[in-house]
Every structure is written in C-alpha cells, then in structure tokens.
Amino acid sequence: MVLLQTWSGMTYLSIICFFSLALYLKSKNKVITYWPIVGVLPCLFQNAHRVHDWTVDIANTYGLTKLERGPFFARLELLFTCDPHNVEYITKTNFSNYPKGQEYNKVFRILGDGLFNSDFELWRGLRNLARTAFVSNNFSSMVSSLSKKVVEDELVPLLSGLAKTSSSIDLEDIFLSYTFDLIFIAIFGRNPKCLCRNSSNHEFVKAMDDGLEAVFLRHVTPPFWWKLCRFLMIGEEKKLQNAWETIDRFMAQYIELKKQDLLQGQQEQADLLSTYISFQKEGKKFSSGGDKFLRDSALTLLFAGRDTTGSALSWFFYSVLTNPIVETNIMEELINVYIKKSSFGNAEKAKFPFVFDSEDLKGLVYLHASLCEVLRLYPSVPINRKAVLREDVLPDGTKVKPGMTIIISMYAMARMESIWGKDCFEFKPERWIADNGKFKSDNMNKFFTFGSGPRTCVGRDFAFTIMKSAAAAILFNFRMEVVKGHVVYPRPSLVLRMKNGLSVNIKPRFE
C-alpha cells in the first residue's frame, strides 16, 4: 500500500514536472507566458538580466499598454505603458490620482521621507523648499563655477595623467566619481575627492551602490519574498541593512560637520544643506524633523544626482564615440568657441588643456541636442512606478482602478517607431534641431527623462550644467575610442548603468 502511494505521488510529481517543463520550453520564445499559480513571475525572473529590453519586446508584441496579473497569492495587477499620451495624463493632467503610493515608499524606505519618496502635502512642502533652494542666485552661480573648478582642477588632470600611463580606462567609473564629488560639494559644501583613488569616502559610495541594487531587486520580486528575506535578514536584504547603517553613519557625520561650520560663523555658504538648516531655523513648514529631515533631504538629492548624471555622461560618450560624425559636429562648435575666446586677447586663458566656462557653453545647440538625444535613447531612470487612487480611464481607453501598480518605461518609449519614427533606434541629435538651426522643442511632449508636470526634476538645469562642462572639456582635450571587443549593455538596475562599464583608450587631442 505504501509502495502504491509512493508510486502515485511520484506519478503526480512527474506529470507536474512534465507540464512545467513543456510550458517553460514553450515560453522561451514568448515574451510573456502565464503560469499556473505564479502568473508571470517566471517570465520576469527569466528576463531580469535584460529587463529594459524586455519592456521593448512587450511593447512591440502587445502594444504600448499591457495589463498583467501577478501570482494569485499576491493579488497584484500591473499596468505597463510607454504611451506618451498616457504618461502625460498620469504625470501631469490627472497628477493627483497617481501618487508614488505606499508600496513604493516601502521599497525606497532607505530614503526616508525625502522629496523622491513622498506624496501629497508632505511632498508639496518638500518640493517648495527644494525649488526655493535651487533657484537662489547664490546656488546657481555656485554650480556654474563649481563645475568648471572640478573639471579643471580634478577631472582633466586625472585624465591627462591616465592618458600617459594607462592603455585603457573605465569612463563610467570616472564619471560616477566626478558626479559624486560635484553633487556632494553642492549639498554639503565640502569635497569628498572621490576622483582621487585614495578617498576615504569609497565606503560611503559602495554603500550607496549596494543600497540601490537591493532596492532594484525589491522592484522585480514579489513583496512577500523581499519582506521574508528582510525578516530573516538574508541575501540582498542583509546587504541593504548593512548599506543603510553605513549611509546613516556618514550622513550623521557630515550633517554635524556642517552645523559646526555654521556655528563658527560660516553663514554665507550656498550649499543646499546650509539652506535646509536655514529653513529649520526659520521654522519653515515640513522642516521641523531635526536631523532626520536633513538626512532624508540630503540623501535624496545625493541619490538623485550622482548616478543619473554619471550614467548619462557614460552613455553620451559611448554614443558619440561610436558615431564619429556627431563627434565632428560637436568639435566644430567647441573649436569656434575656442577661436573666439583666443582672438579677443585671451590667449592665456585659452591655453591647453582648455576648459570651458558656463558662458562659453551657452548657445551650443548641437551639444545640447546630443545630450537630449542620449537622454531620450538612454534615460537615466528607465522605469517609473505609480499607484492609482481612484478609478479612471487613460487616454488610450485603458481602465485603471485602485490597487493597480502602473509601470512606465521611458526606455521602451524611445524605441517605438510609432512614437519616434523608423530611425528611433538611431543616435540622431539632428532630430532635436529645427531647419533654422535652433533647438527644436516639439519633441518635448514625448520626452519624459526629467519627468513631467508637478514632479518635473528640480535639478534639470543643474544636471545639464554638470554634463556640458565635463563633455566639452573631455572631447576638446582628448581623443578616445571604445576598446575593441568591449561589450556595452544596460545593467539591470533602477538607474541605467552599464553592465561592463565603458572601457576606452585615451590620448591627448593636441600634443
């Protein structure tokens, strides 16, 4: 009898395994396959290593909007969309109905109650504080001079030295250090010198990277799973907890240093943390949370600025170096600026290596168009996530209801022929330039890299200043080429980093 029961159990198990294997083999050539009990989760795991390109496959197979259901035990409904009309409606027209949501807040809990992670009244208050800080004349002026200083004193000398001693370098790693230094100075008023290889802040940077990776995995795994791992303190959740503790330790240290600076009479500092401390002293609304408020605000700005700008610069150079005509056109603009500067009796200022200031870079249409094209094709934040408060109908007729999670893919949007034309996969700055040679703003209604509506990125101009300063100086002073055989591919992450970095050969342009 026992033998028969054992045989019967093995038979059922064999049947289940057979059908599961058959379904798996059948699903290998399908974009999405619905599995018993677990829904589309196996497809998600199967495509996790290429999640951004998978969103392109989904849109090309099922259309710009697709409703998915998760495993029955999770009661999860996902709405995927890359339709620009839907995105504008969600982020702008009916903005109040599509908050980040409680689940989003839980996933990004490491950021606390900062601007990126908040909704409703809290968000509005923090947004007003951030806008006030960013639009101040002192801060804008500081960013312009700071960008040139870091490029001139640290970035260009580093690359000059590497051009003499190294056969190849990882540009992505350098750009992440460059943007970390700049953002950190803008926030805390002190230079962490991550461009120097012996910086003591590398532990802090590694903790940020670990935290970002763990948060991404929370996005692509069911909540019950990462919450179980957090309870057991295993895997990525253990790494996240360790990163969190390291980040808190460094943040407390730098907040205390800033307070000491201000107590010693250094009151005229234009850095953002000084401004936020000033908000606290003035009793501004939403700024009474002590050091936690300062920690959450500063950390949000650091996370938002460092990886996004660094990755954008990496994709910019990859795109330019693999499109020589684009590099030639940018160089033509830069050389014209250099000639004008040197012809007006500024020969001393125009010596090599030459670094452009913010005034030099104004009006460079082709450089600006190239950066916009990079951000279109390789959006720094390729996927956005929204919740639904009330039942609604999107512009394409899709019905949404409370409890749904909306996944917006800017990465897929850039690769849709119906949106950008048959040349959508091409890196083509000319699509941003009108016949009269001026910047073409018509495309902005389908360009959501910096968000849209009330949540449009407050640091947009800051980011362009940082990118232009580095891009112009590096292209003008150095010749580079991507190392032969080096594979560049998007890394599965919240910010569009490169899986293998960006290895390039470098040498001075003018010797």
Q: Cα–Cα distance between 392 and 210 in angstroms, integer?
A: 37
Helix H or strand E encompassing 504: strand 503-508
Consult the annotation and say whether 457 binds a ligand: yes
Tokens of 139: 């801060």
Q: Cα–Cα distance between 322 and 316 in angstroms, integer?
A: 10
CA nearest to 500, candidates 171, 197, 181: 171
In the numeric block, the tokens 């002192």 are attached to 138
Q: Cα–Cα distance between 326 and 329 in angstroms, integer?
A: 5
Q: What angle do CA 159, 165, 171 make, to 5 degrees?
A: 40
Alpha carbons within 13 A on the beta-carbon side of 89: 16
CA nearest to 479, candidates 164, 179, 163, 170: 163
Name 56's Cβ contacts closer than 8 Å, sequence gap at least 6: 409, 411, 412, 415
Task: Determine what percent of the chain falls in helix, strand and coil, rounding each to the nearest 5.
Answer: 60, 10, 30
CA nearest to 204, candidates 169, 238, 253, 155: 253
| DSSP secondary structure, 13-26, as one string | HHHHHHHHHHHHHH
Q: Cα–Cα distance between 476 and 342 in angstroms, integer?
A: 15
Nearest-10 crossing angle of helices 137-150, 171-188: 150
Q: Cα–Cα distance between 348 and 345 in angstroms, integer?
A: 8
Distances (CA, A) of 70 to 27, 37, 43, 222, 402: 16, 9, 11, 9, 16
CA nearest to 316, candidates 365, 362, 361, 371: 371
Helix H or strand E encompassing 58: helix 51-62
Q: Cα–Cα distance between 272 and 298 in angstroms, integer?
A: 8
Residues in the annotated binding site for heme = 457
Please enumerate, by residue number, every residue annotated as part of a binding site: 457
